[in-house]
């Protein structure tokens, strides 16, 4: 039987490990990026996944798995940028960035567990290619909200969309680990 809780933690450990290594290499240089830029970066990752899925081949070495890791990590960066606002300089330490990463992943996992209970783990029965499409849809929604200065009439906001992008990417990574690509 599948254990979503532990599988989620396993995937996040991989994503977090890369995030920590990038903090060692670059520090939180992304602090100078506006949230819209982070949304566009997630778009690039998801668009590449979909293009590879459609064309059946990649021209550069990074695989789909690493692109989904990028979506998780950029999604968390987006949540941090929404919380703190963007900066003109790097204004937090790598340790602070990692602590914020952990905070936002914890909140995002909590949301996933609640939704997962309501939806009966429907994501496990989805076609693996659909995760990229759902992420691209969330990116389009986020761009629309950003274009309206973050205001919505009845819809969830930007943070909820970033959390959904993270969770769909985690689902894709879990399915990859299970051999269900």
- Condensed to tens digits (0 to 9), the pLDDT of residues 80-103 reads 999 999 999 999 999 999 999 999
The radius of gyration of the chain's CA atoms, rounded to the nearest angstrom, is: 16
- pTM for the complete prediction? 0.95
d(CA 119, CA 66): 27
Express as a percent the part of the chain with pLDDT over 70: 98
User: CB neighbours of 139 closer than 8 A, spacing ≥ 6?
Assistant: 39, 42, 43, 46, 161, 165
């Amino acid at each position: 039987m599948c254990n979503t809780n532990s599988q989620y933690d396993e995937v996040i450990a991989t994503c977090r490990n890369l995030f920590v290594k990038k903090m060692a290499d670059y520090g939180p240089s992304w602090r100078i990026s506006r949230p819209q830029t982070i949304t566009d970066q997630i778009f690039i990752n998801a668009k590449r996944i979909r293009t590879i899925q459609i064309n059946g081949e990649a021209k550069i070495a990074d695989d789909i798995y690493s692109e989904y890791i990028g979506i998780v990590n950029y999604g968390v960066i987006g949540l941090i940028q929404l919380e703190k606002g963007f900066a003109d300089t790097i204004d937090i330490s790598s340790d602070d960035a990692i602590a914020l990463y952990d905070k936002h992943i914890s909140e995002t996992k909590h949301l996933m567990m609640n939704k997962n209970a309501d939806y009966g783990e429907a994501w496990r029965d989805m076609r693996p290619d659909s995760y990229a499409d759902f992420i691209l849809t969330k990116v389009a929604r986020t761009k629309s909200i950003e274009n309206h200065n973050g205001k919505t009439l009845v819809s969830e906001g930007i943070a909820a969309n970033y959390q959904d992008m993270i969770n769909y990417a985690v689902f894709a990574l879990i399915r990859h680990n299970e051999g269900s690509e």
